Amino acid sequence: MKTRFTQLLGIETPIVCGGMMRVGTAGLAAAASNAGALGVMTALTQPTPEGLTAEIEKCRSLTDKPFAVNLTVGVVATAVNYDDYVDAIIDSGVKIVETAGRSPEPFMERFKANGIKVIHKCVAVRHALKAERIGVDVVSIDGFECAGHPGEQDVGGLVLFPAATQALKIPVLASGGIADGRGLVAALALGCEGINMGSRFMVTQEAPIHEGIKQKIVEMDENQTRLIFRTYKNTARVYRNGIADKVAEIEAAGGEFSEVHHLVSGANQEKAWSTGDIEAGMVTVGMCGGLINDIPTCEELVRNIVGEAEKIINDRFARIVAG
């Protein structure tokens, strides 16, 4: 399947395994890239720039296909020297970067000087237009259904994706609510050049997450997520467990973020991911968890998505048009 996005980056399918904190390791990124998608490592998963350099080398040893590094700016509580991480990315010879959080403008000159293609993730058309103006190559736009931070506008993909594609000249990736070939076809029909999936790639055999968490996502339906942090203007979509309900209760009572921080701490999140205890901490997942019914390899996942998409386009659509 060829689109402007696949041709720009030299990948086989218009599918991205988006950067995910803790999950975006060399192993998962390489597996996604080997399957024909674009695998994305997450820079801040590594506690130091030196660790990122080593992880990039590991990824390069596992695949000869293109892969990217995600750099998410301004969303972690601890101080981060982003310039050091940018140096590690550039010095390692990485040619594709996915940025998220704040604007990548402070780093664009260095990225471009080193021949790096930039995919910027955002949640609103106005942000996408700004990203286009500062020179990013691709925008990945998150609909309201997405895991993590969907923003404060609450615009679903069915409206947001075509709104973005009609406003921008550069390629747009659809993100949020997509887990199968039907989602890929819908994104293409809405003018996008590909899809960016996080939750679906979390539930693959190569994802470094406890099998208990993967199984809970397989068992969930589309109603099993909850929005938290809304009163702090940092809305997050997470799995609806006891932690999420408690946070929502504290927010409803007017509680400050300091009152929920211990509940959503990184240590608790790590406990959930590593032990499989879905009640141990905050677990990020999108509404598309309700569409996930198995735990395939990345190769099986990409093959199934492309196969399903081609069947819809070639068979179902052809019958509809033929009458």
For residues 11 and 67, give the distance between their C-alpha atoms in angstroms, rounded to a whole number: 9
Closest CA to 282 of 253, 240, 233, 254: 240
The pLDDT of residue 2 is above 70 = yes
* 169 phi, psi to nearest 5 deg: -95, -30
Q: How confident is the model at residue 1 (pLDDT cuts 50, 70, 90)?
A: confident
Residues 114 and 236 in one domain: no
Long-range contacts of 264-270 (CB under 8 A, 24+ apart): 264/228, 268/243, 269/22, 270/22
13 and 146 co-located in one domain: yes
Q: Do 160 and 105 belong together in one domain?
A: yes
Residues 198 and 251 in one domain: no
Given a cut of 80, is residue 322 above it in pLDDT? no
- What CATH number corresponds to the domain at position 299? 3.20.20.70
Q: Does 151 lie in the same domain as 19?
A: yes
Residues 249 and 145 in one domain: no
The answer to whether residues 45 and 165 belong to one domain is yes
At 87-144, the pLDDT tens digits run: 999 999 999 999 999 999 999 999 999 999 999 999 999 999 999 999 999 999 999 9
CA distance 129 to 164: 8
Residues 179 and 46 in one domain: yes
Determine the residue type at 96. Answer: I
Tell me the longest C-alpha to C-alpha distance in the chain: 60
Check whether residue 254 and residue 277 sit in a common domain: yes
Same domain, 148 and 91: yes
**What pTM, to 2 d.p., does this model score?**
0.95
Q: In terms of domains, do 120 and 247 share one?
A: no
What is the distance between the terminal CA atoms of the chain, rounded to a whole angstrom?
Answer: 26
Span 9-31, pLDDT tens digits: 999 999 999 999 999 999 999 99
Q: Are residues 265 and 177 in the same domain?
A: no
Contact assessment for residue 117 and residue 91, using Cβ atoms and an 8 Å cutoff: no
Whether residue 317 is predicted with pLDDT greater than 80 in this model: the reply is yes
User: Containing domain of residue 224, as a range?
Assistant: 211-288
Domain count, the chain: 2
Do residues 306 and 14 make contact, with C-beta atoms less than 8 angstroms apart?
A: no
Handedness of CA 95, 96, 100, 105 (dihedral sign): positive
